[in-house]
Amino acid sequence: MATAQDKMTPELLWQLGRVSGEAISADGKSVIFNVSKPNLADNKSERTLYAVPLTGGAPKQLTGAAGDVAVLPGGKIGYSLKGQWWEMNADGSNAVQKTNATGEMQNIKISPDGKYIMFTREVKVKKISGADHYPDLPKSNVQIYDNLNYRHWDTWEDGNFSHVFYATYNNGEVGTPVDIMADEPFDCPQVPSGGPEDLIWSPDGQSILYVTKKKYGKDYAISTNTDIYEYNLATKATRNLTEGMMGYDMAPVISQDGKYLTWLSMARDGFEADKNDVILMNRATGVKTNLTKNWDGTASAVRFSNDGKKIFFLAVLKGTEQLLEIALQKDPAQTTDKHIRQITSGDFDINGIVAQSGNTLVVSRTDMNHAAELYTVDLQKGAQQQLTHVNKTTYDKIGMCKVEKRWVKTTDGKEMLAWVIFPPDFDPAKKYPTLLYCQGGPQSALSQFYSFRWNFQLIASQGYIVVAPNRRGMPGHGVEWNASISKDWGGQPIRDYLSAIDDVSKESYVDKSRLGAVGASYGGYSVYMLAGVHENRFKTFIAHDGLFDLKSWYGTTEELWFANWDIGAYWDPANANTYKHFSPSDYAGKWHTPILIIQGGIDFRVPIEQGLQAFQLAQLKGIKSKLLYFPEENHWVLKPQNAIVWQREFFNWLKETL
């Protein structure tokens, strides 16, 4: 199909392979990676595992679908498939199903000494259904709750919790599993965004470290206080390694010699977008050091260098995500922000760290014109070399979009970065319809990411200029800028958006009579706010899963820690100003612009009534409007055919109204 294309289209976008790095082979010469490709006919994605030489070259297919990929002692590759553990030779030959355990295993990991297998599995802990309470009524269809967090993200609480198990492992023979979380009503991995990084083996295979939030019901709903626990296989004892650390503690990693533990930590309970610091703990003494305490940024994706002398991490810096390192001092407690060095720089995102081999680090990299591919990074010079070329054939046959950084003066005198993305055949002598893109989060980065829904290359390729501002609330511009959006959703951030579109609209190539604003989540909220305050700037709007009425949203959302920190309870007089001035529903009388409203049916973070209220308002006021409702989608659009419908409707609406 690509041969018939000269620009990106929704159908072509959903043919791209999605690359994820897994590991480096035992001999250090190859990188193992997965490629996931959507299958539109079956409405699902299919994965294939490959290996590519670290020096570059043609990839070799190892097997089909494979999860939990690991390089085992002796060089074999282990992986999970349909809830069981498989092993194969390094070249992909002799793939053998090693386990035949009763019940599916998830997040499978073999201990470093090969003696144990660890995995997660759902366990019934609480009675919720009618049949749970009344076994003589097995056909009853009712759920009974006496506490909060009765639903989360896209799932109603059913009394099952994901627990960590381990068992002896002898060449595929699995012993009796031990549930190290017993009858606790807690999850590991964390819901909804946790994964295999939430549970790890110690290098000696004698203990398991896992992340969970040991709170239930209302206490869970209002807190972000996850902790890292260590379970000792010999003593069966569990200890909390992060006792007294009140925010998120996550992504634990142990140095290869077993002496040190590092992880990401937020200081404040309830603030899900707090600064992420890199913490180092001496495992023998328990002494903890905050390595980034005085560094004005927020970290992600920590891992030790192979020799344990450095810690690599990622951070958003001025609209891009880059690779950095911390050089640990002889006395690690003396390590400060002065020992942090930025390794990479450029208009791209390093969005994942795979593994190290010698002086080379394998990473995942994107930009606004290219989906993720694997690159090698020279750890001394920062030089990069592309390793995989999964989508090269497609990209070679379509036009690339010009992407520019632009600095905009805000209403309070600050300098704000805005990305401007142009059509592939951009001609500055012509005038173009222009879209203001409003980012969600509200405290997520607007960097050089490559989205398969809000895809700037796709939008610009249909003939639109895209303006994407790094408004107040985004990381990469200092901790203060990142945090300042809380309790000010409809204030300075909205003025930042207007500053950006007004500034770019001064250019002769922008058709000021054809401006639109689009966005999802907080971006959808921003669109709803702009609909009431834009003073005729915009000709059309598109809002996906946006917050329309703050009071009804607070009363139905589930992660109340987020609602409490950013908005506050509506009955508290201290929050009266927020509800009076920052709820889009209060500006309903000023709505008059065409709007497309998109809503997921199982989005419990921004529940269905938000989109329905906005659509009903527009319809009753006689405003041209359309509702795009996805009954089976949550806060995202994950099914391939639904995604194609989403994008076709998106562009059809723009053609009709802009």
- From the list 202, 274, 603, 625, the catalytic residue is 603
From the DSSP assignment, how many helices (H) and strands (E) are in the chain? 13, 39
- DSSP string for 548-596: --HHHHHTT-S-HHHHHHHT--TTSGGGHHHHHHS-GGGGGGG--S-EE
Distance CA 267, CA 277 (A): 8
Q: Which of 221, 284, 272 is nearest to 246 (CA)?
A: 272
Q: Where are the beta strands (DSSP E) in 318-439?
A: 320-327, 340-342, 349-357, 360-367, 370-378, 384-386, 403-409, 415-421, 432-438
Does residue 407 lie within any of the structural domains? Answer: yes
Does residue 436 lie within any of the structural domains? Answer: yes
Per the listing, tokens 């294939």 go with 48
Q: Is residue 558 a contact partner of residue 604, using CB atoms and an 8 Å limit?
A: yes
pTM passes above 0.85: yes
Does residue 141 lie within any of the structural domains? Answer: no
> For residue 429, what is the domain's CATH number?
3.40.50.1820
Does residue 473 lie within any of the structural domains? Answer: yes
**pLDDT above 70: percentage of residues in the chain:** 99
Does residue 652 lie within any of the structural domains? Answer: yes
| Mean pLDDT, all residues of the chain | 97
The pLDDT of residue 5 is: 54
Q: Which of 578, 560, 555 is nearest to 490 (CA)?
A: 578
Q: Is residue 344 a contact partner of residue 302, using CB atoms and an 8 Å limit?
A: no
The mean pLDDT value for 622-639 works out to 97
pLDDT digits (tens, 9 = 90+) for 302-353: 999 999 999 999 999 999 999 999 999 999 889 999 999 999 999 999 999 9
Q: Is residue 488 a contact partner of residue 472, using CB atoms and an 8 Å limit?
A: yes
- DSSP string for 391-404: THHHHTTSPPPPEE
Residue 603, domain extent:
399-657
Residue 451 annotated among the catalytic residues of the structure: no
Does residue 66 lie within any of the structural domains? Answer: no
Contacts of residue 197, defined as CB under 8 A and 6 or more positions apart, other chains included, come to 189, 250, 251, 252
Q: Where are the beta strands (DSSP E) in 233-291?
A: 238-240, 249-254, 260-265, 277-282, 288-290
3-class SS at 432? strand
Does residue 163 lie within any of the structural domains? Answer: no
Distance CA 90, CA 60 (A): 11
- From the list 521, 526, 585, 625, the catalytic residue is 521
pLDDT digits (tens, 9 = 90+) for 132-147: 999 999 999 999 999 9
Distance CA 554, CA 564 (A): 9
Contacts of residue 620, defined as CB under 8 A and 6 or more positions apart, other chains included, come to none
Q: Cβ–Cβ contacts within 10 Å for residue 459, how many? A: 24
Distance CA 435, CA 493 (A): 17
Residue 370 annotated among the catalytic residues of the structure: no
The mean pLDDT value for 452-466 works out to 98
- From the list 370, 477, 544, 635, the catalytic residue is 635
Distance CA 187, CA 70 (A): 23
Single-letter amino acid, residue 484: S
Residue 521 annotated among the catalytic residues of the structure: yes
Does residue 405 lie within any of the structural domains? Answer: yes
The total domain count for the chain is: 1
> Residue 2 pLDDT more than 90?
no
> Residue 441 pLDDT more than 90?
yes
Contacts of residue 276, defined as CB under 8 A and 6 or more positions apart, other chains included, come to 248, 264, 265, 266, 298, 299, 300
pLDDT digits (tens, 9 = 90+) for 594-612: 999 999 999 999 999 999 9
pLDDT digits (tens, 9 = 90+) for 24-80: 999 999 999 999 999 999 999 999 999 999 999 999 999 999 999 999 988 999 999
- DSSP string for 281-309: EETTT--EEETTTT-SS-EEEEEE-TTSS
Q: Which of 73, 84, 66 is nearest to 173 (CA)?
A: 84
Confidence bin at 1 (pLDDT 50/70/90): very low
CA R_g for the chain: 25
pLDDT digits (tens, 9 = 90+) for 107-124: 999 999 999 999 999 999
